[in-house]
Copies of this chain bind each other. A is one copy, B any other.
Amino acid sequence: MKKVKDKKQLIIEAAMKIFCRDGFHKATVSEIAAKAGVGKGTIYEYFDSKKQLFIEMMKYYANLYYENLIAAIEKEKTIMDKLKRYILIEEEIMTKHGDLAQIFMREAYNIGLEVHKIMKNNRIKQIQFFADLIQAGIDEGIFRNVNPYTAALAFMGSVHHIQVSKIFIKDSYSEEINIENLHDLLLNGIKK
C-alpha cells in the first residue's frame, strides 16, 4: 500500500520536471516514464491520461506550496515579520520552483477548464492571504492606507519578476539585485 503511493509520487515528480522543462505539449509520456524509472504503460496504471497526470501534478504542488506557506508564516509573531517571511518564502519558492510557477501560468489557459480553475483558486487564495496581511498592517497603523490588493500584487509581482529575471539573464548584473533591496524599496518607496 505504501509502495503504490511511492510510485504514484515518483511519477508526479518526474512529470513535474519534464513538464517544467518542455511544457505540456512538448513533453512526452515516454520521457516522463523514463525519468520516473517506470515503463510507459505504468503511467496509465496511475493516471487516466497525460492531461490527467498534468492536472494531478498541478494539484499536488499547488497544495504543497500553499501548506508550506501557511505553516511558515504562522510561526511568525508580528505583522512585519509575517510579511517579510512571506516575501522570503516567495523568493525561496521562485528560486527552487520558478519553472513550476511559469508552467502553471502558461498552460493554465490551454489545457482545459479544470486546470484553469485550480490555478485561479490557488492564485486567489494567495493574493487574499497576502492582502489580509497588509490590511492587518494598515489596521495596526504600521502601513499607509494603500489598497491591500494592489500592494499584494505589487509585492508578489516584484519578487516573481526579479527571480525570473535572475534565472533568465544569469550572467549579467543580477548579482546586485537582491531581496534586501526589494524589501526596502517596497516598504519605503523610491521617492526621496
Q: Which B-chain residue is minimally distant from A83 (CB atoms)?
A: B190
Partner of A123, one of B142, B168, B177: B168
The answer on a CB contact under 8 Å between B168 and A150 is: no
User: Among the listed stretches A33-41, A57-65, A69-77, A152-160, which one makes contact with chain B, having 4 or more residues with CB under 8 Å of it?
Assistant: A152-160
Interface size class on chain A is: 35 or more
Mark interface residues in A156-192 (1 if CB within 8 Å of B CB, else 0).
1111111011001100111011100110111111111
Task: Kindly list chain B residues whose C-beta atoms are within 8 Å of the C-beta of A22.
Answer: 110
The answer on a CB contact under 8 Å between B185 and A188 is: no
With known contacts A23-B25, A25-B23, A119-B168, A192–B141 Cβ distance under 8 A = yes
Tell me the number of copies of this protein: 4
Task: Kindly list chain B residues whose C-beta atoms are within 8 Å of the C-beta of A188.
Answer: 144, 189, 191
Query: In whole angstroms, how far apart are the Cα atoms of A152 and B102 in the complex?
Result: 20
| Cβ-based interface call for A146 (8 A) | yes
Query: Which of A142, A149, A156, A182 counts the most chain B CB atoms within 10 A?
Result: A149
Q: Which B-chain residue is minimally distant from A161 (CB atoms)?
A: B157
**Which A108-143 residues have a C-beta within 8 angstroms of B?**
108-110, 119-120, 123-124, 127, 134, 137, 141-143
The answer on a CB contact under 8 Å between A165 and B127 is: yes
With known contacts A169-B120, A191-B188, A156–B161 Cβ distance under 8 A = yes
| Cβ-based interface call for A26 (8 A) | yes
Query: In whole angstroms, how far apart are the Cα atoms of A159 and B156 in the complex?
Result: 11
Q: Which B-chain residue is minimally distant from A131 (CB atoms)?
A: B173
Partner of A146, one of B23, B157, B159, B184: B184
Tell me the A residues contacting B by CB distance below 8 Å.
21-26, 102-103, 105-110, 119-120, 123-124, 127, 134, 137, 141-144, 146-147, 149-151, 153-154, 156-162, 164-165, 168-169, 172-174, 176-178, 181-182, 184-192
Top 5 A-B pairs, shortest CB-CB distance: A157-B161, A189-B189, A25-B25, A106-B106, A154-B158
